[in-house]
Amino acid sequence: MSFDRSIRIAPSILSADFASLGAEIRAVEAEGADWIHVDPMDGHFVPNLTIGPNVVAAIRPHVRTFMDVHLMIAPADPYIEAFAKAGADMITVHAEAGPHLHRTLQAIRATGAKAGVALNMTTPLAQIEHILDALDLILIMTINPGFGGQKFTHGMLDKIRAARAMVGDRPIHIEVDGGIDPLTAPLVAAAGANVLVAGSAVFRGGSIAEPGVYGRNIAALRMAAENAGAAA
Ligand code: DX5
Ligand code: ZN
């Protein structure tokens, strides 16, 4: 992956039809998705259970772009190898998920995957301030993780701006996740986010039988974000 700060729209397949994940992925990619965002949850770190490495491996052949895996599991360390073998391009762990974040990031990079850190809303950027060289992406949560369809938290805009300032010209993506839609996309893009995860705002109203809706939803997000980014 060559690095640049262009806007990437990353549909979260949490809002897709789980009975047809392969076809859903092919549909959103054909309709303009830049990355595919995958949300494993363990029923312990967050109050929901979703998918594990076997499902990630099963969907891998359908992903032609970039598979962005957001682990909402604690501890994450015992599963890193399995998600890497399953084909994750980016493995993002929560800073809150274990006591030795730097070791975890080293373990991710050792597999050949890119390493990301997700910060819950109450977790300060200071957690990662001194280890920026060890990471490829910062995921600023704009909801409490666990479920799609929640409302964006406007207080996170300051945190996004601070994260963008903190990374400077380092090759580190700023990703946002939770409540991103055409109204909030311009706000996060202007604040400095360049990877926008969106579940409901991409899959809403569409289906594999009607993929054009996905295309319109993705285009609306991209247009809103790119106009704001250009104005910022
Ligand atoms: C929730 C997940 C998100 C989720 C976002 O914990 O991390 O990726 O799918 O859903 P929306 O875009 O509907 O807020
Ligand atoms: Zn996510």
pLDDT digits 0-9 by tens, 153-162: 999 999 999 9
The pTM of the full predicted model, rounded to 2 decimals, is 0.98
Q: ω before 75 within 30° of 0 (cis)?
A: yes
Tell me, what's the pLDDT at 230? 63
Residue 106 has pLDDT above 60, yes or no: yes
Residue 29 has pLDDT above 80, yes or no: yes
Residue 104 has pLDDT above 80, yes or no: yes
* The dihedral sign for the CA sequence 155, 96, 174, 167: positive
Helix-strand-coil split of the chain, %, nearest 5: 40, 20, 40
Residue 231 has pLDDT above 70, yes or no: no
In the DSSP assignment, the letter for residue 138 is: E
In the DSSP assignment, the letter for residue 191 is: H
Tell me, what's the pLDDT at 2? 78
Residue 8: CB partners within 8 Å, gap ≥ 6?
Answer: 34, 35, 173, 194, 195, 196
* Closest C-alpha to ligand 1, atom 10: 148
CA of 140 to the centre of ligand 1 (A): 12
Task: Work out the average pLDDT over 205-217.
Answer: 98
Residue 232 has pLDDT above 90, yes or no: no
Q: Which of ligand 1's atoms lies nearest the C-alpha of 13?
A: 9
Tell me, what's the pLDDT at 33? 99
Smallest-distance ligand from the CA of 148:
1
184 Cβ closer than 6 Å to some ligand 1 atom: no
Closest by Cα among 117, 228, 200, 203 to 163: 117
pLDDT digits (tens, 9 = 90+) for 37-46: 999 999 999 9
Counting ligand 1 atoms within 8 A of each CB, the residue from 28, 39, 50 with the most, and so the one to mutate, is 39
CA of 149 to the centre of ligand 1 (A): 7
15 Cβ closer than 6 Å to some ligand 1 atom: yes
Counting ligand 1 atoms within 8 A of each CB, the residue from 9, 17, 143 with the most, and so the one to mutate, is 143
What whole-number percentage of the chain has pLDDT above 90?
97
The token duo for 67 is 């598979």
What whole-number percentage of the chain has pLDDT above 70?
98
Residue 1 has pLDDT above 70, yes or no: no
The span from the CA of 26 to the CA of 34, in Å, is 12
